[in-house]
Chains A and B, each alone.
Chain A
Amino acid sequence: MTGNEVVAWAALVAGADFMYGYPITPQNEIMHYWARLAPHFGRGFLQTEDEMAAGFAMLGGALVGKKTFCATAGPGNILMQEPIAMAEMMRIPGVWVIQQRGGPSTATVIYSQQELRLTTAGGNGEGLRIVYSTAFHQELFEYTIKAFNRAWEYRFPTFVLGDGYQAKMREAVTLFRPEARGWTLTPAEPLVRRPGIPALDRDPVHLRNTFNIEEELYDRLMAQLAAYDRLTPEVVEWEVEVGPETEVLLVAHGIVARAAKQACAMLNRQGYKVGYFRPITVRPFPGAALREAVAANPNLRLLVVESAYGQLLALVKAELYGFTNAIDTLLKPGVGITAEEIMAAVTARTPKEVRPGG
């Protein structure tokens, strides 16, 4: 099936109650499939007047204890940042599925990885979010379920960062009920209008996104940053193949990581010593794991590969402050990257003397 279908099924089995959305390619079929599935399972769908309305409606649903989600892309992702920032401030859970398209502005409806920065660090705050970057349909399914759990467990905005290719391509996937695999679904509880008399039976609920003085905001933010730091080691996920022999470490996320992994396997078959690092959570970023991988060999060179012009590269560089390893790049904003191109980039940069038989 297509990735968009996969997401709709995942939301269903993850216990999503309601989707609010506004059409934008390439995520439209998530809405279409969800709108078709929802009535059969007692779930809801509302098409709002734009993405901002969809985002704020999600927050309203979450406040009364419903698991809500939305899917968007490109310019829709930009509009969505305002409600997401509010969710971050007020710690209102929600799941956003982003199927990245070409940017900036309308650009293409097809594909890119240019929404990495916006999705990980959008909003007028500190970008306290959880962002999973998927690569396979199986991951789209499993991380969408996980995103619902994480969102309602930690109450930070949670994202599945896909792209137009994942949205539209067809490949095999195994769907399952999370409970059948022993996965527990995090329950959603009302954040407001809980039973009992405030101050007598329970603490009052006071969700704020407005503060009167600087220090109030500062105290609040420092508490949130501390909570985010605590969740980081519990949430970070990555994939790595590296050893002391590794000479070139490919770094890629999302669907480009598929090409990188494929290139890595083929180059190693040809005798090159190539490793591979893929952040699965791009926020929080698995920095410690990356540093450990790079430390495997002091002469290791990195090759950062992405369908954007340096958005992943910026995250990698920030994590590797103090390291002196060379960083090469293959940056192709808005277009797909094939394994062949990555192989060519590696072999072009690998000095002759280390080539097999060279």
Chain B
Amino acid sequence: MMDEQRVLKIIVAGEGGQGVQSIGELLAEAAFQAGKQALYIPNFGVEQRGGVSVAYVQIAEEAIGAPKFLYADLLAVLSKRAAERTKGYIKPGTIYLYEESALAAPVIDDQAVGIQGYETVAPEGFAKMVGAAAAPASSPPVDPSIRPVGIRAAQTAKAELTPRVFNIIVLGAITKLIKVLPPAGVKEAIAKKFGAKFRENPELEALNYQALAKGLTMIETEGQQ
């Protein structure tokens, strides 16, 4: 899935507090531990909390160039606003991983040309469609050239584990989809990042690993389209 630049480009976007930046950090850490080049940069504004949160991650075998990029190989969208904000990063072949409780499942029109779902603006300065008319998004982009993968991470976290591990389920799904990181390495990255919290609350450690496993298997069981 890597392009001619031989760099895997991932964007994770959601609401502040959903754990988006942790996902970015854990992907970069797991890639680094796997002996790959990794670069992670959060978007950040003046707000302390709330708002759309976007994590940019690149994984490669060679040295990585610019920290941001125009198009994502995998775009993980965890909220409606985040979908609108990141639509400019979609290219043919993008894997569009989305949380189904935030976005309705898509209706694919095989006759369609281009992206059908979104007419709103991605506010990044380098996104193409700044100034375009805005319209609310209610489903993933309907584009035969992208691959939508819907998961029910929020429901699974709430019903089976704890809402706190929602992002780790998403991380598991991303890990499965990008195929370049060993799940054991991602688990190690989780252990490293949350080690202190796990010592305080050992139950949380088990929940996180279960969440990772759920995310990994979720793609096989319900995500393939």
Q: What is the size, in residues, of chain B's interface with A at 8 Å between Cβ atoms?
A: 27
Binary CB contact string for chain A from 125 to 136 against chain B (1 if under 8 A, 0 otherwise): 000000000001
Q: What is the size, in residues, of chain A's interface with B at 8 Å between Cβ atoms?
A: 31
Query: In the complex, A172 Cα to B34 Cα: how many Å?
Result: 12
Query: In the complex, A332 Cα to B68 Cα: how many Å?
Result: 14
Q: B45, A165: Cβ atoms under 8 Å? A: no
Q: A335, B41: Cβ atoms under 8 Å? A: no
Binary CB contact string for chain A from 60 to 91 against chain B (1 if under 8 A, 0 otherwise): 00000000000000000000000000000000
Query: In the complex, A255 Cα to B83 Cα: how many Å?
Result: 28
Q: B65, A109: Cβ atoms under 8 Å? A: no
- Choice from A109, A338, A340 contacting B45 with Cβ under 8 Å: A109
Query: In the complex, A25 Cα to B40 Cα: how many Å?
Result: 18
A-B contact count (CB 8 A): 82
Q: Is A94 an interface residue (CB 8 A)?
A: no
Q: Write out the residue numbers on chain A whose beta carbons fall within 8 Å of the beta carbon of B163.
A: none
Q: Is A341 an interface residue (CB 8 A)?
A: yes
Main secondary structure of the interface of B (DSSP, over half): loop
- Choice from A172, A332, A335, A336 contacting B37 with Cβ under 8 Å: A172
Q: A169, B67: Cβ atoms under 8 Å? A: yes
Q: Is B42 an interface residue (CB 8 A)?
A: yes
A148 to chain B: closest CB distance in Å?
A: 26
Q: Is A110 an interface residue (CB 8 A)?
A: yes
Q: Write out the residue numbers on chain B whose beta carbons fall within 8 Å of the beta carbon of A168.
A: 41-42, 44
Binary CB contact string for chain A from 307 to 340 against chain B (1 if under 8 A, 0 otherwise): 0000000000000000000000000101111111
20 pairs of residues in contact across A and B, judged by CB atoms under 8 Å: A108-B45, A165-B41, A170-B39, A170-B40, A170-B41, A171-B40, A171-B64, A256-B66, A261-B65, A262-B65, A263-B65, A332-B126, A337-B126, A338-B66, A338-B68, A338-B126, A339-B65, A339-B66, A340-B70, A341-B70
Q: Which 5 A-B pairs have the closest CB atoms?
A: A262-B65, A335-B125, A259-B66, A169-B41, A258-B65
